[in-house]
Amino acid sequence: MGMKQRLGIALALLSNPKLLILYEPTNGLDPIAIKELRELIRGFSQQGTTVILSSHILSEVEHIADHIGIIASGHLGYQGAFDSKMDLEQLFMKIVSNQQGGFNE
């Protein structure tokens, strides 16, 4: 894992938080570090820590999240449980297009 990310996560965990907020946590990481981080995040969740993750990489969200919120143009366009059958890219495009007055399925 990237040293800055490791240090940031280690500092955040010193106080055994009930809430952990991560912004673009996989940014700049190699594939092995991304896998390690995913496992770490899942471990936090299993231990009762709420993890809020912000990412522009929808495929990354699919690997980690069990609940999602999609914010577009400053508005919450979707909030709910994540289902592996969902197509996040299509859902995001629908939300953005609806806000702009378009998109028909």
Q: What is the mean pLDDT of residues 73-85?
A: 83
In this predicted structure, what is the pLDDT of residue 52?
92
CATH 3.40.50.300 residue ranges of the chain are 1-65
In this predicted structure, what is the pLDDT of residue 50?
92
In this predicted structure, what is the pLDDT of residue 101?
60
Q: What is the mean pLDDT of residues 18-26?
A: 89
Q: Is residue 90 pLDDT above 50, yes or no? A: yes
Q: Kindly report the three-state secondary structure assignment for every residue of 51-97.
A: EEEECCCHHHHHHHCCEEEEEECCEEEEEEECCCCCCHHHHHHHHHH
Q: Could you tell me which CATH number the domain at 1-65 has?
A: 3.40.50.300
